[in-house]
Homo-oligomer: A and B are copies of this chain.
Amino acid sequence: VTTLSTVPEAASRSPKGEQTRQAIVAAALDLFRAGGYDRTTMRAIADAAGVSLGNAYYYFGSKEHLVQAFYDRVQVEHAAAAEEVLSRETAFAARLAGVLDAWVNVAAPYHAFAGKFFKNAAEPTSPLSPFSQESQGARAASVSLFATVLDGSDLKLTPALRAEMPELLWLMHMGVVLFWVHDSSPGQRRTRVLVAQAVPLVDKLARMTRLPVVRGVVNDLVALVRSLRS
C-alpha cells in the first residue's frame, strides 16, 4: 500500500514545486481522457508534462496519487465555487441546490474523462473509489462543505440526525455524481434538473424528521447506522 506521506510536502508546495505538480496533474488528466487510465504510463505523463520520469515520481508515487491530486483539486475548486451562494443564502434548500449546482459547473470540463474513468472509481475495493481509505482527504473536505451548507442554514434537526447529516448530504452528492457520469445531455442539463427536483424533497423530508411521530424512528435509524460503523 502506497501512502501520500511519500510525497515531500514542503518541496512540492513551493511556488515552483506547485507549478510543476499542477503541470503533471494537467498532463495526466489529458492523457487519461485521451487514452484511458489503465493504458496511460507514468513515463507518458512525465513526457507530456516536460519533466523527467524521476521528477514525476518525486511528486507522485504512482498514477493513483495523481488521481487523488485530481480529486483534491476538484474539491478545492468546488469549495471556491460554492462560496458565493453560501454567503448569500440562509434557506437550506437554496444552499444545498447552490452547492450541488456549483459542483456540476466545476466538474463540466472533466465530464468526458469521468465517463472513461468511472470503471476505475466505481470498484468499491479500489483506492480510487470515493469511499476508499486513500480518498479520505478529499472526502472529508467535501463532507465539511456539506456541514457548512447545514451550519449557516435555517434547518433544525434532532441532535442525532444533525450529527450524521453532513455525511448523508455527501452521499446524496455522490448519487448526483453517479447520475452526472451517465448524463449525456448537453451541458449535463438533466443533472441540473435532477438537483432542482430532488432538493425540495430532501428539504421537506429533513424538516419532517422533527415531527413527534417520525422523530423516534429516525433516532433509531441513526443509532443502527452508527452501530454498523463501529
Chain B residue at minimum C-beta to C-beta distance from A203: B217
Residues on the B chain within 8 Å of A122, using CB: 123-125
| Chain B CB within 8 A of A205 CB | yes
| Chain B CB within 8 A of A10 CB | no
Stretch binding the partner chain, chosen from A19-27, A73-81, A153-161, A207-215: A207-215
Stretch binding the partner chain, chosen from A28-36, A48-56, A60-68, A220-228: A220-228
CB distance from A91 to the nearest CB of B (A): 17
Q: Please report which residues of chain A, range 2-52, place their CB below 8 angstroms from some CB of chain B when the two chains form the complex.
A: none
What size tier do the contact residues of chain A reach? 20 to 34
Interface residues of chain A: helix, strand, loop or mixed (majority): helix
Q: Is the CB of A208 within 8 A of B197?
A: no
Q: Is the CB of B194 within 8 A of A217?
A: no
Q: Is the CB of A214 within 8 A of B208?
A: yes
Q: Is the CB of B201 within 8 A of A220?
A: yes
Contact of A179 with B124 at beta-carbon distance under 8 Å, contacts A208-B213, A217-B204, A217-B205 already known: no
Q: Chain A, 108-143, contact with B by CB distance < 8 Å: what is the 0/1 string?
A: 000000000011001111000000000000000000
